[in-house]
Structure 1
Amino acid sequence: MDELRRIDLNQLLTLHALLVEKHVTRAAVRLHKSQPAVSHVLAQLRTRFGDPLLVRHGGRMVLTARAQALVRPLEEALTRLNELLSAPDFDPSRTRGRFRLCLSDYASRIVLPPLVRHVRERAPGLDLAISQASREAMLAQLADGEVDLALGVFPHPPEDIRVQDLFQEEFVSLADRAVLPEKGGLSLAEWLERPHIMLAMRPDAHDEIETALAARGLRRRLAVTLPHWSAAVDLLAGTDLVLTVAGRAVGPLRRHRTLRRFTPSLDLPRFAYQQAWHARRADDPAHRWLREAVLACGRPGGG
């Protein structure tokens, strides 16, 4: 307890903001403080910990090894302290705060619109900051406390990551009618011969479709790899490309009258679309309320 007497709680909050943002000015914005005030506290923290904590490397600020070691225990300690001091009854209409969500533009299209309406109606004091990352980066950011909630497919999450199914999805294929048989879709051989579009955050990603192909010793040609779900459908018209994606990502084809949806020739199992969070946030009342809101908004017609 002697160590606690030597440090101000506000310094710990500033330290947390600096560790998350890795930038003095952004930390100041996050804390609603001036940049000189945060720089002053950083100087005090460097003296207190006997470590520079943030150092410039390659034109940007990075955490020292000591600072990286502080990220997780500090996040957990502040979360527990916040729970200790918070009111026992959580009232979303009166709460204030900011949640950082990481999701693809698939979730931005399917879940985010009803979620924003839900939050604005029931918890207008809550702000949502949205970012996008690969599955691996999402899990790392959850572990480091950089994001509060991630939406995606997490088949093998780490032990300290909690996962909840939002809804079941299935794959569908799309192509221009002009390059499809008059009726039906494509045989597996025809499907494999066609050039494909793959949706992924990285060109070398290995998604569920590639996993299913590899299990059968098969490969497809990936003519276009891109991270933008909303743009992928627009690439099909007037080409011989095939796109295989989660069904709800496609939606009605009223804007794409030359395209046809068909069942993939490859046997692709249904999968669960999920939300994931770190175990340290499991009992946070506001975080729990947000997870329940995401679950409700993930259902067809939810929100």
Structure 2
Amino acid sequence: MDELRRIDLNQLLTLHALLAEKHVTRAALRVHKSQPAVSHALAQLRTQFGDPLLVRHGGRMVLTARAQALIQPLESALTSLNELLDAPEFDPARTRRRFRLSLSDYAARIVLPPLVRHVRREAPGLDLAISQASREAMMAQLADGEVDLALGIFLDAPEDIEVQDLFQERFVSLADKAALPERGDLSLEEWLERPHIAVAMRPDASDEIEKALASRGLQRHIAVALPHWSAAVDLLAGTDLVLTVASRAVGPIRRHKTLRKFTPPLDLPRFAYQQAWHIRRANDPAHRWLREALLTYSQPSKS
């Protein structure tokens, strides 16, 4: 307890902003202080912790090892203090919070519109900041406190990351009708002979489709690899390309008059689309409200 007397608890909020933003000016905006005030607070924090905390490297500010080690305990401490001081009942209409979500443009198209409508109706003071990253990067961002919630497929999440299924999905294949046999689909041999579009954050990523092929000693030819779900469907018309994606990424097939949807000639099991968060956020009332809203408004009937 003696250590607490040596530091202004308001400085911990400034420290939290500095560790998250890694930038004095952005941290100042986050805590509604002037840039000189945050610079002065950083100087005091450096003295308090006996460490520079933020150092310049390659033209940008990076965290020292000591600062990295402070992220999780500081996040947990501030969450506990917030729960201690918060009113017992959470009122979404009166909350003033900003949550950072990491999700693909698939989720931005499927989940985000109904969620935003719900938030604007019920919690207009709750702001959402959206970013995009690979699954591996999402796990690191959750652990470091850089994002509050991530959406995706998380099969091997670390122990300190909680995962909840939002809805079940299945894979479908699409191709231009003119490039398909009259029967309207492709055999496995024909499917493998075709050039494919792959949707992934990295061109060399191994997704559920690649893993299913590898388990059978098979491989497909990826002619186009891109990270944009929404653009992938538009690449098919007038080509011999095949796209295999989550069914809800396609949308109503009637919007794509020259395309045909068919079942992939490969055993691709259904999969759960999920939300993930760090355990330090589990009991945060506002965070819990947002998770429950995502669970409700991500269902197909609500889209």
TM-score normalised by L of structure 1: 0.99
Separation in structure 2 between the aligned mates of residue 204 and residue 48 of structure 1, nearest angstrom: 45
CA distance in 2, matches of 1:221, 1:235: 16
Amino acid at match of 2:144: D
Partner of 1:115: 115
Residues of 2 paired with 1:189 and 1:104: CA distance?
31
Counterpart of 1:274 in structure 2 is: 274
In structure 1, what residue type is equivalent to 2:210?
E
Residue deviations 1:29-80, cap 9 Å, x none?
1111111111110011011111110001011110001101101111111111
Partner of 2:47: 47
Residue 99 of structure 1 corresponds to which residue in structure 2?
99
Q: Residue 127 of structure 1 aligns with which residue?
A: 127
What TM-score comes out, normalization by structure 2 length? 0.99
Report the Cα offset of residue 265 of structure 1.
0.7
> 1:301 Cα deviation (Å)?
2.6
Aligned to 1:193: 193
Q: Residue in 1 aligned with 2:3?
A: 3
Structure 1 spans left out of the alignment, 5+ residues: none
Distance in 2 of aligned mates of 1:36 and 1:81:
27
The residue type equivalent to 1:225 in the other structure is: A
* Percent identical residues: 83
2:83 aligns to what? 83
Alignment of 1:168-207 (within 5 A): 168-207=168-207
C-alpha deviation, 1:204, in angstroms: 1.1
After TM superposition, give the deviation of residue 184 of structure 1 in Å. 2.9
Distance 1:55 1:104 in 2: 31
SS in 1 for 2:156: coil
Any stretches of 5+ residues in structure 2 without a counterpart? Answer: none
Find the aligned partners of 2:217 and 2:281 in 1 and give their Cα distance.
Answer: 41
* Conservation of the 8 A alpha-carbon contact between 2:115 and 2:294: yes
Question: What's the counterpart of residue 251 of structure 1?
Answer: 251
Aligned residues: 303
AA aligned to 2:291 is: R
1:10, CA displacement in angstroms?
A: 1.0
AA of the residue aligned to 1:260: R
Partner of 2:217: 217
Letter in 2 for 1:103: L
Give yes or no for contact 2:184–2:260 (8 Å, CA) kept in 1.
Answer: no
- Name 2:155's counterpart in structure 1: 155
Distance in structure 1 (CA, Å) of the matches to 2:144 and 2:259: 43
1:15 matched to 2:9: no
CA distance in 2, matches of 1:32, 1:132: 26
Q: Which moved more, 1:134-143 or 1:251-260?
A: 251-260
1:254 shift after superposition: 3.0
Partner of 1:261: 261
Aligned residue identity for 1:173:
S
Q: Return the offset for 1:286.
A: 0.5
Q: Deviations over 1:149-196 (max 9, x none)?
A: 000000111001000000000000000011101123100011011111
Q: Runs of 4+ in structure 1 displaced over 2 angstroms?
A: none
Question: Following the alignment from structure 1 to structure 2, what is the Cα–Cα distance between the partners of residues 205 and 25?
Answer: 36
Following TM superposition, by how much is the alpha carbon of 1:253 offset from its aligned partner in structure 2, in angstroms?
Answer: 2.4
> What secondary structure sits across from 2:62 in the alignment?
strand
Take 2:240 and 2:295, find their aligned partners in 1: how far apart are those partners? 38
- 2:255 and 2:184 mapped to 1: Cα distance? 21
Amino acid at match of 1:279: I
CA contact (8 A) 2:177 2:184 kept: no
